[in-house]
Amino acid sequence: MELARIAVDDGVAYVAWVTGGGERTVRLGGRMLREVRAGRAIRPVVGDWVEVSPDGLVATVRPRQTKLARKAAGLHDVEQVLVANVDVAFVAMAADGDVNERRLERYLALVHEGGVAPVVVLTKADTCADLAAEQARVRSVAPDVELFVVSARTGQGVDAVAARITPGSVAVLLGSSGVGKSTLLNALLREARQRVGELRDDGKGRHTTTRRELFVLPNGGLLFDTPGMRELGLIDVDGGLQETFTDVTKLAAQCRFRDCRHGGEPGCAVREALERGALDPVRFESWQKLTQELQGRRRR
């Protein structure tokens, strides 16, 4: 058996980097496919360490140190693991109108739950007329999260992002389609490795990345590029929500009753903070909505 790391997931087969050097195409054999479908084995994803047989079949998946997972698209509440064994997750949002506080909260909950360090990257800084306002929007929901302002076109902030991916560490780029992830990756690689789409009529970028793939940066760091996500359903992210909404959860811990619903109960620290303007009602409403979403999935 050879130990290898899944570097590319094409949906049908994988490209794995072998620890002794080189790469090879690997796949799942019939037995493992049956185990995966029966829920007795996990399907490998990019970042996984796997043991591969001489004929190129994945025999086992090593235990994961970290993982980023969302609810799979569709009606059923099924977990979809996006990437495994990463250290840093760069959440990219374009400064040309893509910043969305509610979507950012979802990304942060997913990343925190996975045991991965989150970093927000504001891309396309050269196209934004008021960068301070966009940074303030990010800070309103992620005051303690690292934030980089980047323009891959001018080079602004690219070296700072590269320095955050230290030699031997593994990072992943997350974000919606068209926010400039592939353009940023090319700037970090210092060569045009990923295809970049032409702008649409509204000036937004087009979706170009179609698979999850691992790249080696010039300094020895590793970076996964991922396709843009249209849906970001959360699943089993209770801990991630607590870390994302520390302002709300710290207040909730001060309520008189442990099962306080933050409505009309006496001694509700959350309600008191809302009334005196110490807690943003929009922020509280978002926390409630996400909490109820998870509770609904749990009941189902």
CATH label of the domain that carries residue 263? 1.10.40.50
pLDDT exceeds cutoff 70 at 202:
no
The count of C-alpha atoms lying within 13 angstroms of the C-alpha of 13, restricted to the half-sphere facing its C-beta, is 8
**What's 219's domain CATH number?**
3.40.50.300
Examine the domain organization and report whether 100 and 219 are in the same domain: yes
At 196, is the secondary structure helix, strand, or coil?
Answer: coil
The answer on 53 and 125 residing in a single domain is no
Residue 223 phi, psi dihedral angles, 5° rounding: -140, 125
State residue 108's pLDDT score.
Answer: 97
* 116, 158, 221 from 68: Cα distances, Å: 8, 24, 19
Residues 172 and 294 in one domain: no
| Count of the separate structural domains present in the chain | 3
Query: How much of the chain exceeds pLDDT 70, in percent?
Result: 93
Residue 5: closest CA among 37, 45, 50: 50
pLDDT at site 196: 56
CATH number at residue 16: 2.40.50.140
How many CB atoms sit inside 10 A of residue 292's CB? Answer: 10
Residue-wise pLDDT for 221-262, tens only, equals: 999 999 888 778 998 899 999 999 999 999 999 999 999 999
Q: Is 267 contained in some domain? A: yes
Assess if residue 178 is contained within a domain: yes
Q: Are both 59 and 134 inside the same structural domain?
A: no
- Interval 121-132 mean pLDDT: 95
Q: Are residues 217 and 269 in the same domain?
A: no
Residue 14 domain flag: yes
Rounded distance between C-alpha atoms, residue 259 and residue 161, angstroms: 42
Instruction: Tell me if 182 is assigned to some domain.
Output: yes
* 48 contacts 84 by C-beta, under 8 angstroms: yes
Range of the domain at 58: 2-63
Compute φ and ψ for 273, nearest 5 degrees. Answer: -65, -40
* Number of continuous H segments (helices) and E segments (strands) in the chain: 9, 13
Identify whether 184 is part of a domain: yes
Residues 139 and 183 in one domain: yes
What does the pLDDT read at residue 231? 79
Residues 92 and 201 in one domain: yes
Average pLDDT, the chain: 91
The secondary structure of residue 199, as a DSSP letter, is: P
- Asked whether residue 68 is domain-assigned, the answer is no
CB-facing half-sphere around the CA of 70: CA atoms within 13 A? 17
Same domain, 96 and 53: no
- % the chain with pLDDT above 90: 76
pTM confidence score = 0.90
**Mean pLDDT across 44-55:** 96
Co-location of 215 and 272 in the same domain: no
Same-domain check for residues 206 and 126: yes
**Residue 179 above 70 pLDDT?**
yes
Specify whether 113 is located in the same domain as 215: yes
Question: What's the CA gap between 280 and 273, in Å, rounded?
Answer: 9
> Residue 276: how many CB atoms within 10 A of its CB?
8
Residue 261 placed within a domain: yes
State whether 178 and 274 are in the same domain.
Answer: no
pLDDT for 194 beyond 80: no
Specify if 72 maps to a domain. Answer: no
